[in-house]
Homo-oligomer: A and B are copies of this chain.
């Protein structure tokens, strides 16, 4: 316990986070992080055996500090599917920009590193669960479209709310966070709900 939560370890995590926040992606090197934390490059390896493990630890640290899980859990209070969807998109959609830097680095690593892939998949599983809860609520309301199975609905919603999708709209197309949230609600609604015309 005292080992795991050492001062230095925490400082490394915070610096990694800050650096990736400023410049999302894979540009940040181990030496940059060491310099930012005011220690030698080797000292970083003393705490984290590989870059992948450091990134994974940083995401976990972030999730802990920001307390995603309880933020996502809030949406479960809502009664109707519609309300749940809105609460969920509010919670997750606004969480994305806070983790974007680290997420992007992990996403880039995913292709080559097994461990990074597993860590990312694990975190995304939480989001998927949230999507599942939303779909279930819609189903209960009897509002779910018949064009998709529950499984497909979950996956479609999950993909719609992916970090990459957010990235494309907000970072590449320049949508504001507010626009993103608003339109995601509309789109998800349109996608999941039966549209009788």
Contacts and interface: CB of A to CB of B under 8 A. Distances in A.
Interface string A152-171: 10011011001011001100
B108 A183 contact: no
A187 B111 CA distance: 29
A52 to B, nearest CB: 15
Q: How large is the interface on A (under 10, 10 to 19, 20 to 34, 35 or more residues)?
A: 20 to 34
Interface in A86-110: 104, 108
Given A26-B112, A155-B169, A187-B191, 10 more contacts: A25-B111, A27-B112, A152-B183, A155-B173, A164-B164, A186-B191, A190-B191, A190-B195, A191-B191, A196-B197
A148 interface: yes
Nearest to A195: B195
A143 to B, nearest CB: 11
A158 B196 CA distance: 26
24 contacts: A25-B112, A26-B111, A27-B111, A108-B111, A147-B183, A148-B183, A152-B175, A152-B179, A155-B169, A155-B175, A156-B169, A156-B183, A156-B187, A158-B168, A159-B168, A162-B165, A164-B168, A186-B191, A187-B190, A187-B191, A190-B195, A191-B191, A195-B197, A196-B197
A26 B191 CA distance: 34
**Number of copies of this chain that the complex holds:** 2
A148 B183 CA distance: 8
A152 to B, nearest CB: 7
A117 to B, nearest CB: 11
A38 B102 CA distance: 40
Of A25, A112, A187, chain B has the most CB atoms within 10 Å of the CB of A187
Contacts of A111: 25-27, 104, 108
Contacts of A168: 158-159, 162, 164
